[in-house]
Amino acid sequence: MNKNDETKTTTDTGPPCGSDVMTCYNAVRKEVIGDCTLYQGDCAVILPQLPGFDLILTDPPYGIGESGGDKKRRRGYNAVVVHEDLGWDKTRPPAWIFGLIISKADMQIIWGGNYFADCLPPSMGWYYWDKKMGGDFSDGELAWTSEQRAVRDFSKSPFAGLKGGHLRVHPTQKPVALMEWCLTNAPDAKTVCDPFMGSGTTGVACARKGLTFTGIEREPKYFDIACKRIEEAYRTRPRLFDAVEKIVPKQMSLI
């Protein structure tokens, strides 16, 4: 597909992940938005069937119970938001998933890497996000990377420059600016994958930078949100990459 074409294609692929019938890597749904291909389904089933990527940039579940509920309140626009607890952060991914992630890309950036120290090889190229938030929040977060270079630091509050606060549609949503900064540290990466896409922040960053993105998300609620956010990113990004004015829906063949 031409990078100048903003084309959205929707495919309902029928049987869910784990069924005996293989359609579109056993994804429940597939959405193509510009240069972004999104699969709703389990990355443990879909990722092994995908081709390799230049970069996997992701933020997996840490297994620390941050998936929502009344005790997990998040700041919204001049309000406190309570996210529905869908239970996705009760456990962390199995160790073999991280081996798969390493095998599927030339470079990896994995946020929360300190929670997966027993699953990842030693690395000197950690990233640190200094949140500058204060209060009872953590001072920052760590990302494991496959790069053998000095530690890199990103210092910015997730609320910086956002009037009334940072509206998070996902309880552990990262700022787009953070993911754009990660992409800046991987200047040779043209194809990017996020197997734990969540609300699509990595995809938004890729759309804004004109990169090819593949995302996988299991929860239907967050998959829908990711699609909407990425569509909006294409509509509002600088026109540097664009030759047409809008995303045009088109039905894709199921065969």
Which domains, ranges and CATH numbers included, belong to the chain? 7-251 (3.40.50.150)
Cα–Cα distance measured from residue 27 to residue 237, given in angstroms and rounded to the nearest whole number: 28
Strands 212-217 and 191-194, bridge-based pairing:
parallel
Identify the band that residue 14 occupies on the pLDDT scale cut at 50, 70 and 90. Answer: very low
Confidence category of residue 139, pLDDT binned at 50, 70, 90: confident
Query: According to the model, what pLDDT value does residue 93 have?
Result: 84
Element (H, E) at 220: helix 220-236
- Confidence at residue 227, expressed as pLDDT on a 0 to 100 scale: 96
Mean pLDDT of all residues in 94-116: 95
Lowest mean pLDDT among 11-15, 152-156, 231-235, 244-248: 11-15
The pLDDT-based confidence of 123 (bands split at 50, 70, 90) is very high
Q: What is the pLDDT of residue 240?
A: 56
Give the separation between CA 250 and CA 96, rounded to whole angstroms: 37
Q: What is the pLDDT of residues 163-216, one digit of tens each?
A: 433 466 666 688 899 999 999 999 999 999 999 999 999 999 999 999 999 999
Residue pair 200/226 in contact (Cβ under 8 Å)? The answer is yes
Read off the amino acid at residue 166.
Answer: H
Q: Phi and psi at residue 82, in whole multiples of 5°?
A: -105, 115
Question: Looking at residues 221-228, what average pLDDT do you find?
Answer: 92
Which one, of 255, 183, 188, 235, lies nearest residue 34 by Cα? 235
Q: Cβ atoms within 10 A of the Cβ of 94, count?
A: 11
Q: State both tokens at 34.
A: 């510009």
User: Quick one: tokens of 153?
Assistant: 């630091």
Is the pLDDT at 75 greater than 60? The verdict is no
10 Å CB burial of residue 18 (0-12, 13-18, 19+) is: exposed
Q: Which of 69-73, 123-127, 179-183 has the lowest mean pLDDT?
A: 69-73
Contacts of 230 (CB under 8 A, 6+ apart): 33, 34, 36, 38, 200, 203, 204, 207, 213
Q: Is the pLDDT of residue 134 over 80?
A: no
* Res. 245 pLDDT band, cuts 50 70 90: very low
Mean pLDDT in residue range 47-51: 95
Which of 2-6, 33-37, 83-87 is predicted with the least confidence, judged by mean pLDDT?
Answer: 2-6
| pLDDT tops 50 at residue 138 | yes
Whole-Å CA distances, 166 to 80, 86, 157, 228, 244 = 11, 22, 10, 17, 30
